[in-house]
A and B are shown apart, each in its own frame.
Chain A
């Protein structure tokens, strides 16, 4: 036993030391890269050329590196030089932004800007292909920069480590030729749209959730519509699902993100038919791509018509009624006495083993982890009252306390509200903070997701 404990302590100590050393190493590498960027403009090619000449001709390294795309008809040396002098802004260094940035940097785009306020988390790694286990906790922009510079040191990477807001958007976007919307929330999508209309930048917009993806290019060409032409009104917050709640497959974000890079390259090089005025609908479950011919500019569009109503950026969080992140906000629907915290529920388990514990998560989530004795009744079945049949006589006695739980304590409140309307005299409470609170306050060995 003592040996086991000693070994475990030693392991933990080593993990911490390795983590600290890795962080130090990354910081030193970052400093070196910054210094290199400011002191040397000369490529690592033997024939030193000035940066300006550099952009008008391909170096031997360029030719070797880009040979497979240089020989493409319609691309050629001219296309490569256009890419070399181009700059692309990628908003969101996540599931869409990582593959998009990878292909753009790989293809020889001269300057890639990355906007993201968030840090790398373990739950990102299945789809955010530039980040690694050793860079968990690092800014996503810096983590992506490390990966991209390893891939192609000739591509200049700028990190904008902040939330894109109406106060920063114009200033950041102005310097770029093409913008990629790889964001994860509605407010940022409207903000980017409006800013790109005002600055006349083509906006390659991608999105993905579960097994679905969408892609189109806004604000391109004379007749190309903007996001507001297609969706003048944002969806109500309760109808919006984020990847954290709905789930998403990495290969789906990877597909859409790669296609965003393709459209950006086509715009820069002037290749093929850009996906403007068309909406690509990707259904990963049947693997079908549909191309819907969408409208041209809306005559009375509030932002892109000749007489726009919106002439400067607005408060997009207010306009959408949602925050400009994909993080959930804790709801506050119930009175304190209608809730039970994790420690009190642990006590209740011991004092009153006879109680009804209802877990309102989706079956797929219930399967991941659950508290013993919990019954799985998904929220939808609470709200359409089919739970009455499922739980039957268990609901008859108002002496049997009922506790409702979910992952983070939002859905459980909605369920309690609904059930209390039917059973006003029952003791129905929700587990405050859900399984996350259970894990942090009572049982650290309980998994979180």
Chain B
């Protein structure tokens, strides 16, 4: 059962905020990813694909508006789910 789920690739919507939007050169993108993936792996794939290495240590990820707390935890994604990439803003 798990292996079938693991092998499925789905499309998610990635939203970029603040500095990540500048680096990715877009505010949103469709991204193909395994439906069951560790948060840390998803983060790494996003950093590689969207040139986010400059801010790799200060990004938070949110899955359907919920913070992904543990990089070692597996998450289940569904077609069309939303992942937000949120670096801090410091200006004011």
Contact = CB atoms under 8 A, between A and B. Distances in A.
What bracket does the count of chain A residues touching chain B fall in?
35 or more
B66 interface: yes
B88 interface: yes
Nearest to A230: B60
A236 B53 CA distance: 11
B17 A231 contact: no
Interface stretch (A267-275, A285-293, A351-359): A285-293
Given A241-B19, A294-B60, A295-B69, A184 B92 contact: yes
Nearest to B57: A233
Summarize A's interface: helix, strand, loop or mixed: mixed
Summarize B's interface: helix, strand, loop or mixed: mixed
B89 A207 contact: yes
B91 A292 contact: no
Interface string A178-207: 000011111001000000000000000011
Interface centre among B58, B84, B90 (most CB of A within 10 A): B90
Nearest to A279: B86
Interface stretch (A23-31, A88-96, A367-375): A88-96
A143 interface: no
Contacts of A165: none
Interface centre among B54, B55, B92 (most CB of A within 10 A): B92
A313 to B, nearest CB: 19
Interface stretch (A48-56, A242-250, A408-416): A242-250
Given A230-B60, A231-B58, A235-B57, A248 B91 contact: yes
A326 interface: yes
What bracket does the count of chain B residues touching chain A fall in?
20 to 34
Contacts of A242: 90-91
Interface stretch (A11-19, A150-158, A208-216, A398-406): A208-216
A286 B28 CA distance: 12
Nearest to A242: B91
B30 interface: no
Interface string B66-79: 11010000000000
B92 A212 contact: no
Interface string B44-72: 00000000001101101010011101000
Contacts of B58: 231, 233-235, 239
A290 B91 contact: no
6 contacts: A183-B90, A207-B92, A208-B91, A213-B89, A293-B67, A295-B69
Query: Sorted from nearest, which 3 A-B pairs have the closest CB atoms?
Result: A209-B91, A207-B89, A96-B92
Given A96-B92, A291-B65, 12 more contacts: A95-B92, A186-B90, A209-B90, A230-B88, A235-B90, A239-B55, A241-B19, A242-B91, A243-B92, A246-B91, A281-B84, A292-B86
